[in-house]
Amino acid sequence: MQKSLKTQVTTLSIIIFLLLLGLGSLSIVKLNDVNQVSSDIRDHWLQSTRILGDLNNFTSDYRATEASLILAESPDLLMHYEKEIRDLNSLIASSENSYEQIHHKDSELETYKQFRGEWESYLTLSNEVLSRSRMGNKDQASKIHMAQSRIAFATASNTLSKLTAQTVKGASDASARSLTTYAESQNLIILALLLTVISTAIMLAYTSKFVAVPLLELANAMRSLAANNTNINIPGIDRHDEIGNMAQAVVVFQKNAITLNQNQLKLIQQASTLEEKLQSEQRMTELQRNFISMVSHEFRTPLTIIDGQAQRLIKMKEPISSIDIIDRSEKIRGAVLRLTKVMDRIQTSSNLYKEQSKLPFQSIEIDPIKLLKDVCHIHQELTPSAKVSLNITPPIPTAIFGDHDLLFLAISNLISNAIKYSTTLPTITIDALYENEMLIIKVRDQGIGIPQKDMNLLFERYHRGSNVAGIEGTGIGLHLVKMVASLHQGDVSASSTEGQGSEFIIRVPHELKSN
């Protein structure tokens, strides 16, 4: 049974990882060996070779200075050579101390101890030579120098040469060992790099052959099925891994697509029947809305005003003054304007339900600050006695996306209601701010407020508060505001205390999300 792709890829990855980890660890060990040998050469062999070279030089100079001191004729020259011997003694002692600070093999230490003993023997004879030279017995001093002292110096010098030869050989062996270890480390690193390249190539080839190519074939099959080309072979259905499961799912999709094509005519017929029923239902709904709009009691008040003023004009027998004519004409025009507004609001609300509305939703770029200023300015002109105050809290975006006319209508409705349901001198406050990519518009008034029992039905169509008797209205304004907010993927909320005023808040996003 074939393993899943996850198991195969994980197993191959672990094998490659362990192989590279082993080679890498071995390379690191070898590099540490190289470093160790290099440190040994640097800190032991080179230092030892340098010190022994100094000892050879200093001891040779000591022997030569001793001979010069025997031959010195003047006291000044004698003092000069004695000082030079003291300096050389100090240098030899310092070199010996430096050599002893270095860790050495037992064979080296044994040879070095032999040299120290022989050199001490030579120094004993040398001191006797120097002593006799100071006392003027130069013949005896020369005799000792050329006999016992010469033999002692030669013995110590031979031992020092032997120690130097051991040190040079040890340094040469360490250098060769360093080169061998470095070559081994280099070969391991090259092998690790080659294995990395080969492993990467294997992973790419495996992924291409067993994952990428089969997935691409399945994707092409899906595109063919999406184009209603169902007469195709689905590759990979005989596999027992995740791609095999995907291929079997595509086979199911193929069968469903075939069934869908077979039932397409039936679905079209059913859709046609449903469309006819829907159109009939829409016509009935339209008739109902028109009927409700036409019988709205809001038409009665302005018509009564117009009729009353007309009857008074008819019944008046005395000549009518121009002031009286203007007064009654303004009342008639006010009633006509009121009636027109009611008709516009009803018509606009009804249009929003119609599929072929003359006022479709069109999203464009809108300047929200200009929109708010325009709507406030219009209401300030229509109602000079009202105080309409606009407060903008920065930062406000210079552009949002939505339907300009619908947003204008919604905000206008809220301001109009705030004025209508306020006191004799209404004060309306509009606040605009921007939070969490939402434009927030608050409309507050100090009017009669809304009873708590009416809050749940506040945005229902044709619903009006229980405390608005005698105040004009159709009950569709707030419903229209809610619809506009929903079309803009936003919302509207309200809070109110009866007798103290109300606050309505519209929230619309900066950009509309595509459906």
Q: What is the 3-state secondary structure (H, E, C) of 201-256?
A: HHHHHHHHHHHHHHHHHHHHHHHHHHCCCCCCCCCCCCCCCHHHHHHHHHHHHHHH
Over 70: is that where the pLDDT of 283 sits? no
Q: Convert 351-373 to b/e letters by CB count within 10 Å (16 or more is b).
A: ebeeeeeeeeeeeeebebeebbe
Over 70: is that where the pLDDT of 274 sits? yes
Q: Do the beta carbons of residue 5 and residue 243 sit within 8 Å?
A: yes
Q: Convert 443-458 to b/e letters by CB count within 10 Å (16 or more is b).
A: bbbbbbbbeeebeeeb
> Which tens digit of pLDDT belongs to each residue from 426-441?
899 999 999 999 999 9
- The confidence score (pLDDT) of residue 346 equals 58
- DSSP reduced 3-state for 435: strand
- Any idea what the Cα angle at residue 497 is, between residues 491 and 501, rounded to 5°? 80
402-423: average pLDDT: 89
- The confidence score (pLDDT) of residue 343 equals 67
User: Counting Cβ atoms within 10 Å, is residue 291 exposed (0-12), middle (13-18) or buried (19+)?
Assistant: exposed
Q: Do the beta carbons of residue 441 and residue 494 sit within 8 Å?
A: no
Predicted confidence band at 391 (pLDDT cuts at 50, 70, 90)? very high
Distance of CA 291 to the CA centre of its chain: 59
- Of 409, 482, 497, 406, the residue nearest 445 (C-alpha): 497
> Which tens digit of pLDDT belongs to each residue from 94-135?
988 988 888 888 888 899 899 889 999 988 988 888 888 888
User: Counting Cβ atoms within 10 Å, is residue 265 exposed (0-12), middle (13-18) or buried (19+)?
Assistant: exposed
- Residue 312's alpha-carbon distances to 5, 52, 337, in angstroms, are 95, 140, 20
Over 60: is that where the pLDDT of 357 sits? no
Predicted confidence band at 256 (pLDDT cuts at 50, 70, 90)? confident
Q: Do the beta carbons of residue 138 and residue 81 sit within 8 Å?
A: no
Percent of all residues in the chain with a pLDDT value above 70, rounded to a whole number: 82
User: Counting Cβ atoms within 10 Å, is residue 50 exposed (0-12), middle (13-18) or buried (19+)?
Assistant: middle
- The confidence score (pLDDT) of residue 347 equals 63
Q: What is the rounded CA–CA span in Å between residue 68 and residue 82? A: 10
Token match 């809001």: residue? 298
- DSSP reduced 3-state for 125: helix
- The confidence score (pLDDT) of residue 372 equals 95
349-363: average pLDDT: 56
Question: Measured on CA atoms in the order 142, 143, 146, 149, is the torsion positive or negative?
Answer: negative
Over 50: is that where the pLDDT of 157 sits? yes
Q: Do the beta carbons of residue 508 and residue 446 sit within 8 Å?
A: no
Which residues make beta-bridge pairs with 507? Answer: 440, 491
Q: What is the rounded CA–CA span in Å between residue 203 and residue 9? A: 8
> Which tens digit of pLDDT belongs to each residue from 289-323?
544 544 454 465 466 667 766 776 777 766 777 77
Q: Do the beta carbons of residue 492 and residue 504 sit within 8 Å?
A: yes
- Provide φ and ψ at 233, rounded to 5°: -95, 135
State both tokens at 482: 């809610």
- The confidence score (pLDDT) of residue 311 equals 74
